[in-house]
Amino acid sequence: MELRHLRYFLAVAEERHITRAAARLGLKQPPLSQQIHALEKELGIKLFTRLPRGVELTPAGERFLEDARELLSGIERAASRARAAAMGQHDRISIGLTTSASLHPGVTRTLRAYADAHAAVSLDLQANSAAGLTEALLREEVQVAIIRAAVARPADLVFEQLAQEKMLIALPAKHHLVKRRASGAHAPISLRALGRERLILVRRHAAPGMYSNVVDACQRAGFVPLVVAEVEHMLTGINLVAAGVGISLVPASIREIRQQGIVYCPVSDAPSLVAPLTLIYRRGEAQTTVTDFIKLSRKLAKDRRWC
């Protein structure tokens, strides 16, 4: 078995379709099918069940997927460390970020300050959902992460709130709820006014904390939100707002994205609707590169300019 076989398998497992996986890998479909068959023959098990429109993993394939991901991740980490050593960098820190957390100006300042103070440390930044990063910390695939609302709080992890910011309503610029004050600023909108609007939210499984916060706030305002689209990443949701698919509730720092055709309005009647920034790391963490990042994050978060 070669590493390319694992990469081929991973692409098919993620795409659930051999033709799409082949396009992703830059291969033709027949050779990829042959490689998957060869891998199944070598292992002596069926990894996929062929369907009329794609494939699905067998129970054995599901288990093999977990191990294949772990193995490839370990190899990538080893290669990254080797490249860092060749460049004179003697250590490395793996930092996980959710999309919306990475856009917060305080997080950007923290990363820049850390890089300036630790020139010999290579930064490995990994983007994932809050749920994905929590699992990645438990699997020791990342060393520290910054997310929004916590998904769950495993005993092996420490959760520290660095900051919180208000949520804003992102709407198409010509939406009927958008009003301007005499000053030119956009007028606040009541959460109750969203009762009949189409909402776009980050998927529940990816960011259950943020999802639940929005749904709970809507229910307290007297209505069940009409969620017409759930997206993996907040930036995708912003693009859908610009396309007129619906509106969304986002952390205030998202307005730094100058997406044409979108305005951001305050919420007038939901003061508890906020978006936290949460630092996560493993309990008992002792590696200096990681503890330095934790201390720096705490220190900078106390400065109002951080936000």
Residue 129: is its pLDDT beyond 90?
no
| Mean pLDDT in residue range 91-108 | 89
Which pLDDT does position 65 carry in this prediction?
85
**Distance from the Cα of residue 29 to its chain's centroid:** 31
**What is residue 53's predicted lDDT score, i.e. its pLDDT?**
84
Helices and strands counted in the chain (H then E): 10, 11
Taking all residues of the chain, what is their mean pLDDT, rounded to a whole number? 87
Buried b (16+ CB within 10 A) or exposed e, 82-100: eebeeeebeebbbbbbbbb
Q: Cα–Cα distances in Å, from 268 out to 72, 76, 184, 190, 194?
A: 48, 48, 17, 5, 12
SS3 261: coil
- SS3 of residue 96 by DSSP: strand
Report percent pLDDT > 70 for the chain: 93
**Least confident range of 150-159, 167-176, 186-195, 251-260:** 251-260
249 beta partners: 169
- Quick one: pLDDT at residue 88? 56
Res. 32: pLDDT tops 70: yes
Question: Looking at residue 249, what is its pLDDT?
Answer: 93
Give me the domains of the chain, ranges plus CATH numbers: 3-71 (1.10.10.10), 90-162+276-306 (3.40.190.10), 164-274 (3.40.190.10)
49-79 pLDDT, tens digit each: 888 888 899 988 888 888 888 788 777 767 7
Confidence of residue 154 (pLDDT cuts 50, 70, 90): very high
Query: Do 214 and 156 form a contact (C-beta atoms < 8 A)?
Result: no
Are 144 and 289 in contact by the 8 Å Cβ rule? The answer is no
Predicted confidence (pLDDT) per residue in 231-272, tens digit: 888 888 889 999 999 999 999 888 877 778 899 999 998 888
Beta strand 121-127 with 274-282 is unpaired
Measured on CA atoms in the order 228, 220, 208, 232, is the torsion positive or negative?
A: positive
Q: Write b or e for each residue in 5-31: b if 16 or more Cβ atoms lie within 10 A of its Cβ, otherwise e.
A: bbebbbbbbebebbeebbeebebeeee
DSSP state of 69: H
Tell me: pLDDT of 14 over 80: yes
Which residue(s) pair with 167 in the sheet? 251
